[in-house]
């Protein structure tokens, strides 16, 4: 459905699927470059492990921008994925790496960092890296790894993904009809006999349905 929203009727089937494949390619390429490519401010696997220790769901995104507004364009793409329809809002752990050409300025880096910081949790742990790559020219690339999303947000995303929310309350059984008085004295049940009495379940275990969100796992 997201591919249909982001493409028009002239886009071929092959090109549409390439858009989805590109998300996976960016993730793999971004992780490998973070660890292996030397930079002006280096990041390594220890930094990735530190961010991943925040726990919870993790999101990785890559943004590209060029021209005078390249920092803003790249940062806005990196903090939200149009194809996956998710953002890094509320993330408590963020690692971001900025890659640009020799013309990459401190202003560009600061502008990108400000956009990412505004999106994250106010107390987020942020780790920053920078790489100068002459082959980038006037293009700027930002790679973001975000983790430690708040529980409320994660639950909201799950409900939105599956199209419905799960109720936390069980249905209340209908009250049993009151018995009519018969005029006979009530029979006294000995204590031992009461201990042997068991309550029969109102449902059979075989009739229980597995919730939709568990079946999808």
Question: What are the tens digits of pLDDT across the range 121-174?
Answer: 888 889 989 999 999 899 999 998 888 876 434 434 433 433 433 334 344 444
Q: How many whole angstroms separate alpha carbon 202 and alpha carbon 16?
A: 51
Q: Is residue 188 part of a domain?
A: no
Tokens 């992780």 correspond to 31
Asked whether the predicted pLDDT for residue 187 surpasses 70, the reply is no
Q: Is residue 42 part of a domain?
A: yes
Residues 108 and 70: beta-carbon distance below 8 Å: yes
Q: Is residue 169 part of a domain?
A: no
CATH number of the domain where residue 127 is located? 3.30.1330.20
Work out the angle between the directed axes of helices 106-119 and 70-79 (0-180°, nearest 10): 30
What's the total number of domains in the chain?
A: 1
148 Rama class: left (phi>0) / alpha (psi -120 to 50) / beta = left
Q: Specify the pairing of strand 139-147 against strand 80-81.
A: unpaired
By three-state DSSP, how is residue 87 classified? Answer: strand
Mean pLDDT value across residues 45-57: 80
Write out pLDDT tens, residues 167-180: 343 444 445 555 55
Q: Which two tokens stand for residue 93?
A: 């752990």
Question: pLDDT band at residue 99, thresholds of 50, 70 and 90?
Answer: very high
Asked whether the predicted pLDDT for residue 92 surpasses 80, the reply is yes
Q: What is the pTM of this model?
A: 0.60
The pLDDT > 90 percentage for the chain reads 17
Q: Which of 13-27, 110-124, 187-201 bottoms out in mean pLDDT, i.e. has the lowest?
A: 187-201
Q: Is residue 154 part of a domain?
A: yes
Q: Is residue 216 part of a domain?
A: no
Nearest to 33 by CA among 91, 99, 87, 80: 99
Nearest to 170 by CA among 200, 202, 141, 124: 202
Mean pLDDT value across residues 23-33: 73
Q: Is residue 109 part of a domain?
A: yes
Q: Which two tokens stand for residue 203?
A: 């449902």
Q: Is residue 43 part of a domain?
A: yes
Q: Is residue 49 part of a domain?
A: yes
Range of the domain at 129: 2-159
Asked whether the predicted pLDDT for residue 103 surpasses 60, the reply is yes
User: What is the overall mean pLDDT for the chain?
Assistant: 72
């Amino acid at each position: 459905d997201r591919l249909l929203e982001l493409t028009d009727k002239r886009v071929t089937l092959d090109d549409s699927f390439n858009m989805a494949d590109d998300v996976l390619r960016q993730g793999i390429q971004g992780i490998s470059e973070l660890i292996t490519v030397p930079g002006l401010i280096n990041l390594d696997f220890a930094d990735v492990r530190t961010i991943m220790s925040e726990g919870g769901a993790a999101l990785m995104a890559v943004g590209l921008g060029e021209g005078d507004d390249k920092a803003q364009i790249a940062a806005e793409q990196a903090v939200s994925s149009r194809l996956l329809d998710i953002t890094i809002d509320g993330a408590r752990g963020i690692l971001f790496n900025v890659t640009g050409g020799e013309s990459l300025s401190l202003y560009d880096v600061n502008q990108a960092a400000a956009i990412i910081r505004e999106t994250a949790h106010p107390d987020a742990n942020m780790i920053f890296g920078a790489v100068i790559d002459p082959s980038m020219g006037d293009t700027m690339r930002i790679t973001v790894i975000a983790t430690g999303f708040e529980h409320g947000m994660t639950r909201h995303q799950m409900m939105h993904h599956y199209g419905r929310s799960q109720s936390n309350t069980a249905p209340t059984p209908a009250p049993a009809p009151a018995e009519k008085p018969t005029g006979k004295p009530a029979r006294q049940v000995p204590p031992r006999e009461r201990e042997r009495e068991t309550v029969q379940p109102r449902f059979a275990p075989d009739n229980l349905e597995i919730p939709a969100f568990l079946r999808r796992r």
